[in-house]
Amino acid sequence: MSAVEDVVTEAPAVEAVPKRAMTLGYGTSLVMLGLLIVAPMFVKNFIIFQLTMLLIYGLAVLALNILTGGSGQFSLGQSAFYAVGAYTSAILMEHVGMNYALTLPIAGIVCFGFGFLFGQPALRLSGVYLALATFALATAMPQLLKLGYFEHWTGGVQGLVVTKPDAPFGLPMSQDMWLYYFTLVVTIAIYIFSVNLLRSRSGRAFMAIRDNEIAASAMGIDVALYKTLAFGVSAGITGVAGGLGAITVQFVAPDGYTISLAINLFLGMVVGGVGWLPGSIVGSAFIIFVPNIAEGISKGLSGAVFGILLFLVIFLVPHGARQVAIVAQQLIGKLKKN
C-alpha cells in the first residue's frame, strides 16, 4: 500500500517479527518452567538424557534464532561453533582438569571471539552467499579437528572421552538428573539474557538491520559492528550449548559435528518459528524426536517418512510453532471474553 514498499528492490529474507511477539507472557513462561522442573521426576534415566539434549539443542536453535530471526543473517555453520564449544569444554576438563561448570563460560567466550572474527568477512556477504560461506565453515570443521597437528589435544579421529559429573553436595540424585537440572539453570539464564538482549538497544539495532540494512545505517546504526556482534553472540551461545553437549554425551569426536547438525538446527528454527525464541524448544523437540518416530514407522524409508512429516508441518504451519501459539492465544482470548 505504501510507496516505500514498492520501491524496495529486495525484500528482507526474514519477515519482520515485532520484538514483543518474540517472547512469551509471564503466565505461560511460569507454566512452561513448572513443566520443565517436574518432568524428569517421573521418567527413566535415558529419557532424562533426552530431555537434557532437548534443552541443549534448544539453546543452539535459540542461538541461530538470534542470528537469523534477530539480525536477518543466515548460517549453516552453527555446527562448527557447537564443535568448538564442545572441544573447548572437553579439553579443559580432560587435559587441564578444570571443573565442568567453569569450562562453559570459557567455551562461550572462545566461541564468541570465533564468531565475531568469522562475522568480519561474512559482512560482505548476504543471502545464499553467506549460506555458502557458513557452509564451508561447517564442512571444514570436522576435517580441521582430525588434523594430526592438534591430535595431542583433540584425540584426532578417536575424539575424547569426557567424565560425567556427579551431583554436588551429596544431593541424592542420579548423574543424569543432576545434569538435567544444571542444564536447565544454564538454559533459563541464557534465555532470559537473550530476551533482554533483543529488547535492548542492541536488539533494536539487530532488528533494524534485519528489516532494512540501508535504512538502519542511515539511522546511524553501526551496521558492521552489530552484524558481527550478532554472529559473536550467536556463536557464543552455541558454544555453551556445545560444551553442555560434550558433558552430557560424555564424548567428543569430529564426526559428531558435521553439516547435518547445522542442517538440523536450521530445521529446528523453522519448525519452531523464525524469530520466536520460545519456539526454539519446540524445534529442538522436532529434530530430536521426529527422526526416531520416522524410524519407528518404517525402517527402510525412515528418510522419506521424516521428509513427509516435515512437509506436513510446514504445510500446516508455514510459520512454525509461533503460528500455533498465536492461534492458541486468540482462542484463549475468545474464551476469556465469553
- Least distance from C-beta 37 to another protein, angstroms? 32
**Euclidean distance between CA atoms 283 and 312, whole angstroms:** 14
Nearer to another protein among residue 3 and residue 335 (C-beta): 3
Residue from 308, 327, 328, 331 binding another protein (CB under 8 A)? 308
46 binds another protein, rule: CB under 8 A: no
For the segment 7-26, give every residue that binds another protein (CB under 8 A). 7-10, 13-15
Bridge partners, 160 (sequence order): 252
How, if at all, do strands 160-161 and 251-252 pair? antiparallel
Phi/psi at 150 (nearest 5 deg)?
-95, 5
319 binds another protein, rule: CB under 8 A: yes
Part of the chain binding another protein (CB under 8 A), chosen from 108-116, 125-133, 202-210, 324-332: 125-133
Residue from 270, 281, 285, 288 binding another protein (CB under 8 A)? 270
Residue from 96, 128, 171, 332 binding another protein (CB under 8 A)? 128
316 binds another protein, rule: CB under 8 A: no
302 binds another protein, rule: CB under 8 A: yes
Is 209 in contact with 221 (CB distance < 8 Å)?
yes
Range list of H helices, the chain: 3-7, 26-38, 45-65, 71, 78-91, 100-122, 127-146, 151-154, 175-199, 201-211, 213-218, 223-249, 259-272, 279-297, 302-316, 321-337
Residue from 129, 200, 328, 332 binding another protein (CB under 8 A)? 129
Nearer to another protein among residue 270 and residue 282 (C-beta): 270
82 binds another protein, rule: CB under 8 A: no
Give me the 192-221 binding string for another protein, x by CB under 8 A, dash otherwise: --------------------x-xx--x---
Residue 147 zone, left/alpha/beta (φ > 0; ψ -120 to 50; rest): beta
Part of the chain binding another protein (CB under 8 A), chosen from 99-107, 166-174, 244-252, 295-303: 295-303
Nearer to another protein among residue 197 and residue 319 (C-beta): 319
314 binds another protein, rule: CB under 8 A: yes
307 binds another protein, rule: CB under 8 A: yes
Is 85 in contact with 239 (CB distance < 8 Å)?
yes
337 binds another protein, rule: CB under 8 A: no
Task: Provide Rg for the chain, Cα atoms.
Answer: 20
- Least distance from C-beta 292 to another protein, angstroms? 15
The set of cell numbers assigned to 315 is 504445510
Residue from 1, 35, 38, 335 binding another protein (CB under 8 A)? 1
Nearer to another protein among residue 29 and residue 139 (C-beta): 139
- Least distance from C-beta 121 to another protein, angstroms? 5
68 binds another protein, rule: CB under 8 A: yes
Residue from 21, 30, 132, 171 binding another protein (CB under 8 A)? 132
Question: CA nearest 89: which of 234, 249, 304?
Answer: 249
Phi/psi at 160 (nearest 5 deg)?
-125, 145
Contacts 24+ apart (CB under 8 A), 314-320: 314/270, 314/271, 319/273, 319/274, 320/270, 320/271, 320/272, 320/273, 320/274, 320/276, 320/279, 320/282, 320/283
Q: In the complex, which residues of this chain contact another protein (CB under 8 A)?
A: 1, 3-10, 13-15, 68, 74, 121, 124-126, 128-129, 131-133, 135-136, 139-140, 143-144, 146, 212, 214-215, 218, 263, 266-267, 269-271, 274, 300-308, 310-311, 314-315, 318-320
